Amino acid sequence: MTFIPRKRFSQHFLRDKEMVHRIITALDPKPHEHLVEIGPGQGALTFPILENTHELEAIELDRELVALLQAHDKKIGNLQIHSADVLTFNFADLKQDERLLRIFGNLPYNISTPLIFHLLSFTSIIADMLFMLQKEVAWRLAARVNTKQYGRMSVMVQYHCHVEVLFDVPADAFYPVPQVCSSIVRLVPHRQAPYFVKDYAFFAKIVKLAFGQRRKTLRNSLKDLIDDDCWMRFQLSSGLRPENLTVKDFVEFSNQLGQ
Ligand code: SAH
């Protein structure tokens, strides 16, 4: 059966065998680990991994692909497919024992930002994540303070995880060839949060508001929350923009402000 890739599901299948090998080497999957793949597609990563681990869970939205994957040779291993939308998927339902989840996938690029935010709410049960992302998105996750790429995603992701961009994957490694370049990124949730946040929802709100209009100064974007007296008390320069604040600065700022 030939499968025609669907644009609306952001389907770009890996066809470069060497690249598949490189990604699997970076993931280093082992039997007895709790591995979960997002968007297995036609199984480019799925089947070689299953041969090693004999057990794998996967979440796939396209029912036709789910049927195709389910028709695999059962001798390879136990592939458990959840036919679902990963954006509303409750990862906590997968955790059945003491093992933390190892999540990976060549992600559908059209949903990668909301998906990363969704995954951040499950970091306490995740050991690590290895994702293929659009190169710009990968660098935004890893971006350092005072750079153009540094934004809401960088702050929120780095609050939860250690981020490492591992290597680039050229567009011709996929079928159909995408318009963009891709990178492999590893996210490792901190087992112990480096910074203590008093009120997480408030911290998240400050970060969102601050970067909502990133060209504005913080003083301007946050004027409904911080009056002039308050600003004096923090002794912060009124010319500061959100990209000048480290993750730690945002944490301290929201802790003080939330009092
Ligand atoms: N891993 C495969 C396919 C990657 S393409 C490979 O590398 O070849 C992205 C995959 O994500 C497709 O299989 C697509 O159907 C699936 N997908 C798209 N949106 C999804 C969603 N909301 N939830 C789960 N899977 C989704």
Q: Which residues contact 73 (CB under 8 A, 6 or more apart)?
A: none
The boundaries of the domain holding residue 210 are 200-257
Q: What is the pLDDT of residue 123?
A: 97
- Look at the chain and report how many structural domains it folds into: 2
Reported confidence tier of residue 28, pLDDT bands at 50, 70, 90: very high
50 and 155 inside one domain = yes
Residues 128, 122: Cα–Cα separation, whole Å = 11
Of 189, 223, 239, the domain-final residue? 189
Of 160, 189, 218, the domain-final residue? 189
140 and 42 inside one domain = yes
58 and 162 inside one domain = yes
223 and 159 inside one domain = no
Q: What is the pLDDT of residue 37?
A: 98
pLDDT digits (tens, 9 = 90+) for 86-120: 999 999 999 999 999 999 999 999 999 999 999 99
For residue 210, the domain's CATH number is: 1.10.8.100
Specify the ligand 1 atom closest to the Cα of 105. Answer: 1
Question: Quick check: is 236 in a domain?
Answer: yes
pTM greater than 0.85 (yes/no) = yes
Record the tokens describing residue 247, joined without a space.
């993750």
With a 6 Å cutoff on the Cβ, whether 43 touches ligand 1 is no
225 and 184 inside one domain = no
With a 6 Å cutoff on the Cβ, whether 9 touches ligand 1 is yes
CA neighbor of 150 nearest in space, from 224, 195, 203, 210: 210
Reported confidence tier of residue 214, pLDDT bands at 50, 70, 90: confident
Among 2-6, 70-74, 107-111, the range of highest mean pLDDT: 107-111
Question: Quick check: is 194 in a domain?
Answer: no
pLDDT digits (tens, 9 = 90+) for 192-207: 989 999 999 999 999 9
Residue 219, H or E segment: helix 218-221
Question: Quick check: is 1 in a domain?
Answer: no
User: What's the average model confidence in pLDDT over 141-150?
Assistant: 97
149 and 219 inside one domain = no
Residue with the nearest Cα to atom 16 of ligand 1?
Answer: 39
- Counting beta carbons within 10 angstroms of the beta carbon of residue 237, is it exposed (0 to 12), middle (13 to 18) or buried (19 or more)? exposed
Q: How far is the CA of 60 from the centre of ligand 1 (A)?
A: 6
Q: What is the pLDDT of residue 8?
A: 86
115 and 38 inside one domain = yes
Pocket test for ligand 1, best of 69, 83, 86 (most atoms within 8 A of CB): 86
242 and 154 inside one domain = no
* Range with the poorest average pLDDT among 69-73, 100-104, 229-233: 229-233
